């Protein structure tokens, strides 16, 4: 290794560890369910994004196995050569039905969606208004586009209106887009889409909602845009297939013309092999379950509300969450890391989240009860939270 690289890595890793910002990765020894095994220990899992418990669903496993037997383990090519299987087309039709749009396109990940869609439509002649707490993949997609990025104070509609007005009246840009998460993953609060649509109409903004943490959870499972009944008003609906859906991948849903454009101008679609058929079959099965019944949706909300009430009663700061996502905001990074470690030692896996995922001094453990958790599991977790919280002086 070069001496320059060695010095850079050694010094910066040392600094991260000293500041409590180095993230230790714990391999899970088995399925990512409500109880996970790490280093031989069974832990109540409150860190998963497997919101509806579908990642371990037996029906979806069977669908994945059957499709793998039929199509093989890989698509064999990029979509534009001969890597588009008939099951891929069926998935995109189902995604459009799920999101209430004319058409949809899927990608290899939610991150790829934002890298693909933003840069395929926006360029250096344009401007993007972006909520300051938007996901990192949105930030990267904006940078890749070359457009002027203007930060909007989090959920501040007055700031959005003022900056939209100034941007449009400047005459400097051909197009202006506003981008927001539907549900903000670290705080669990919901974008004010009705007001956003009103401002967008006033200033002719393109609207773009990344609903990675809303699909499957909001709108009886169909997402935040559906929750507000705005399917015809939002230009881009973005989502992941790896959280509530439980598999892997991401999608963009919108008009047929938008999807046609993305199929000829979005680089991850053009230059990366499509998802394997086994994954696609499992995704379609998950979508069927969500569209046919609200049972899993209702259960994740029930469990989320139960855990929130319990943690709040104990005296933890759970922030402003409006969804089952339940942060316990600790603050100082080293204390947050220590808190998470002690929880794991007592039997709860709730991963610490610190800078740069959240602002400095806003360290937290992010709890995500799923539809697969039982009340007994959540009660046990609350007992452990009480013990560790008092031990470390987080609660009295």
Active-site entry in 99, 148, 222, 243: 243
Task: With beta carbons less than 8 A apart as the criterion, state whether 297 and 369 touch.
Answer: no
Mapping DSSP to helix (H, G, I), strand (E, B) and coil, where does residue 78 land? strand
Active-site entry in 185, 321, 340, 352: 185
Strands 326-331 and 363-367, by their bridges, are antiparallel
Task: With beta carbons less than 8 A apart as the criterion, state whether 339 and 365 touch.
Answer: yes
Nearest to 272 by CA among 120, 88, 77, 91: 77
The pTM score is: 0.93
Mapping DSSP to helix (H, G, I), strand (E, B) and coil, where does residue 243 land? coil
Q: At what angle do helices 110-121 and 256-265 cross, to 10 degrees?
A: 100
Active-site entry in 88, 99, 213, 351: 213
Separation of alpha carbons 85 and 152, rounded Å: 41
168 Cβ contact list (under 8 Å, min separation 6): 176, 203, 204
Please give the mean pLDDT across all residues of the chain: 96
Q: According to DSSP H, which parts of the chain are helical?
A: 3-18, 58-71, 86-99, 110-121, 136-145, 157-170, 193-203, 224-227, 256-265, 267-271, 277-292, 295-314, 333-346, 375-391
Q: What angle do CA 183, 354, 335 make, to 5 degrees?
A: 130
Separation of alpha carbons 140 and 179, rounded Å: 13
pLDDT at position 20 is 77
Task: With beta carbons less than 8 A apart as the criterion, state whether 110 and 299 touch.
Answer: no
pLDDT at position 357 is 81
Nearest to 287 by CA among 244, 229, 249, 234: 244
Active site residue 154: no
Tell me the two tokens of residue 302. 């029930």
pLDDT at position 115 is 95
Strands 206-210 and 236-240, by their bridges, are parallel
Separation of alpha carbons 111 and 267, rounded Å: 13
Active site residue 396: no
Active site residue 213: yes
Tell me the two tokens of residue 174. 């051909």
Burial class (CB in 10 A: 0-12, 13-18, 19+), 27: exposed
Tell me the two tokens of residue 246. 């439980």
pLDDT in tens, 265-276: 999 999 999 999
pLDDT at position 19 is 84
pLDDT at position 1 is 84
Q: Which neighbouring-strand residues pair with 43? A: 36
Mapping DSSP to helix (H, G, I), strand (E, B) and coil, where does residue 188 land? coil
Mean pLDDT by 10 residues, the chain (396 residues): 94 90 88 96 96 97 98 95 96 97 96 96 98 94 97 97 98 98 92 98 98 95 96 97 97 98 95 96 98 97 97 95 94 92 97 86 93 98 97 94
pLDDT at position 343 is 97
pLDDT in tens, 241-266: 999 999 999 999 999 999 999 999 99
């Amino acid at each position: 290794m070069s001496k320059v690289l060695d010095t850079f890595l050694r010094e910066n890793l040392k600094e991260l560890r000293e500041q409590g910002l180095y993230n230790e990765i714990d391999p899970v020894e088995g399925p990512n369910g409500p109880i996970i095994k790490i280093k031989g220990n069974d832990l109540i899992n409150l860190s998963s994004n497997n919101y509806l418990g579908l990642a371990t669903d037996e029906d979806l496993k069977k669908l994945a196995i059957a499709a793998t037997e039929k199509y093989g383990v890989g698509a064999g090519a990029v979509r534009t050569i001969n890597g588009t299987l008939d099951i891929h087309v069926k998935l995109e039709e189902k995604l459009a039905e799920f999101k209430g749009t004319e058409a949809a396109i899927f990608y290899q990940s939610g991150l790829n969606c934002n890298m693909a869609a933003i840069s395929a439509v926006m360029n250096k002649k344009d401007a993007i208004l972006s909520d300051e707490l938007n996901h990192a993949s949105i930030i990267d997609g904006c940078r890749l586009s070359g457009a002027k990025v203007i930060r909007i104070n989090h959920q501040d509609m007055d700031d959005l209106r003022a900056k939209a007005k100034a941007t449009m009246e400047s005459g400097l840009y051909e197009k202006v887009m506003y981008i927001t998460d539907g549900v903000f993953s670290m705080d669990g609060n919901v974008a004010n889409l009705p007001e956003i649509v009103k401002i967008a109409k006033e200033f002719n903004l393109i609207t773009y909602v990344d609903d990675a943490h809303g699909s499957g959870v909001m709108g009886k499972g169909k997402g935040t845009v559906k929750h507000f009944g705005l399917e015809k008003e939002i230009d881009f609906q973005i989502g992941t297939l790896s959280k509530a859906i439980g598999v892997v991948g991401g999608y963009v849903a919108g008009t047929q013309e938008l999807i046609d454009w993305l199929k000829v101008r979005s680089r991850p679609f053009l230059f990366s092999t499509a998802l394997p058929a086994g994954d696609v079959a499992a995704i379609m099965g998950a979508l069927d379950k969500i569209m046919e019944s609200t049972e899993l949706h209702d259960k994740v909300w029930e469990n989320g509300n139960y855990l929130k009430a319990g943690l709040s009663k104990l005296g933890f700061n759970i922030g402003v969450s409006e969804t089952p996502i339940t942060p316990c905001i600790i603050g100082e990074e080293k204390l947050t890391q220590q808190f998470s470690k002690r929880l794991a030692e007592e039997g709860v896996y709730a991963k610490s989240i610190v800078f740069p995922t959240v602002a400095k001094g806003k360290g937290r453990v992010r709890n995500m009860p799923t539809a697969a958790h039982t009340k007994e599991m959540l009660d046990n977790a609350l007992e452990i939270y009480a013990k560790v919280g008092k031990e470390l002086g987080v609660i009295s």
